[in-house]
Structure 1
């Protein structure tokens, strides 16, 4: 078997539709030789149906990252599909959520409860997920890759999700610091906007189209999740053996240019 991920076992979260970056990361990972396990939350039948569109079968495990019982049992559930002695070589974190009042321009009026939910699901879960998978990774190392959206500036309507993404970026750096001794790398892919189900829940998302149309030096197609998915697969591979705590921008270059 050949490919960037030949012989590796990869866990991919956040596959809800085949338009998602996570779906295409799972697809490309399989094409590059990996065995893939998916997680889903709530609508498992939908995730299983979407999984059927991958090149090869992929089991689906239910995972609510706010449920400690789910997290505590995750390693065991993965072993059920990969074998008792199986190792996990990579984890893709593609999990984010903010209640409606945390998005859309009401930043100053958002309740703490909604902010707490956004931060727990979208940022703290990177730590929760990584620690749940640690028993399958700590003896041999591996790669954790999260999906990000540039948190260095304030975006229209993005509000507390932008704050949560800033927390995600900081969480990734601290995980890189604390897990490096176990050979575990933690990096993020800061993707440009893609028309996914999650994106459609952001009020005013269409404004990002004009920003990327006007400013991306390489151009940007909001309907194409594959460039970001390729970045994820590259970071999962052995081609970045000493890269950790990094944010790789796959956004057509928008982050690098001014207005």
Structure 2
């Protein structure tokens, strides 16, 4: 099994349609122990959804915009594990105002950047006390090389997210820890459906050489599991596209 004996922290499990849920499921099936995070009104939802996994994992509270949560993360994780082999970042949020590029105010933009980009660094640093050589950080993105319709400041935040990954790879490399992203095609998750442009992705499959199923999160989840494993020991700072090949086509 790819993840035999590994211990992972997985963020972003809200519904069983989410990529993070399928990462957690496949990771368990591949031999890993998993801990989930959630907070606020979604905490009980995550606890309920967690019961649908092969083994019901612990769920700990973590709001990546709350410094106290970050400062105490390692201590609280030690109640359930003595170390981490991997961290999955599947977190993104932008206020409604951030989806209007020219009219968005800094407060909305700052929230989008903090939660959707800076949190890759803050979550990783908060987890470092439990991570050692061979560790892997994996995040989920949507191709930030394009100016997508209506995505606006979330698109800018994703560009910052992808840059953050490269700097993490630089600074974590000497510690023997890798940092990579999976650029997934659109998945019809609860979070994605809240983005105003989501309905425009319906034809993604027509423009992808391999096709694309908006309802199938497993291909992206499999890529995450592979990057969490020991099968990419010399890969870091990378963005692996799992989008049916859409990103490589010209239109």
The TM-score with structure 2 as length reference comes to: 0.98
Once residues 194 and 115 of structure 2 are traced to their aligned partners in structure 1, the CA distance between those partners, rounded to angstroms, is: 16
Matches within 5 A, 1:136-175: 136-138=130-132, 140-175=133-168
1:213 is displaced (CA, Å) by: 2.6
Residues 41-92 of structure 1 show CA distances to partners (whole Å, capped at 9, x for unaligned) of 212111000000000020000000011110011111111012xxx2200000
Alpha-carbon contact 2:70-2:123 (below 8 Å) kept: yes
Once residues 67 and 94 of structure 2 are traced to their aligned partners in structure 1, the CA distance between those partners, rounded to angstroms, is: 20
1:222 is displaced (CA, Å) by: 0.1
Q: Which residue of 2 aligns with 1:224?
A: 216
Once residues 148 and 56 of structure 2 are traced to their aligned partners in structure 1, the CA distance between those partners, rounded to angstroms, is: 38
Residues 112-166 of structure 1 show CA distances to partners (whole Å, capped at 9, x for unaligned) of 110000000000000000000000014x340000000000010011111100000
1:109 aligns with 2:109: no
Q: Which residue of 1 aligns with 2:239?
A: 247
1:133 aligns with 2:127: yes
Question: What is the aligned counterpart of 1:203 among 191, 196, 202?
Answer: 196
Alpha-carbon contact 2:12-2:90 (below 8 Å) kept: yes
The TM-score with structure 1 as length reference comes to: 0.95
1:55 aligns with 2:49: no
1:249 is displaced (CA, Å) by: 0.2
Alpha-carbon contact 2:205-2:244 (below 8 Å) kept: no
Unaligned runs of 5+ in 2: none
1:91 aligns with 2:91: no
Q: Which residue of 1 aligns with 2:77?
A: 78
Unaligned runs of 5+ in 1: none
1:218 is displaced (CA, Å) by: 0.2
Q: Which residue of 2 aligns with 1:187?
A: 180
1:216 is displaced (CA, Å) by: 0.4
**Number of aligned residues:** 250
Once residues 19 and 206 of structure 2 are traced to their aligned partners in structure 1, the CA distance between those partners, rounded to angstroms, is: 23
Please identify runs of 4+ aligned residues in structure 1 that moved more than 6 A.
none
Q: What CA RMSD, in Å, does the superposition of the two structures yield over aligned residues?
A: 0.7
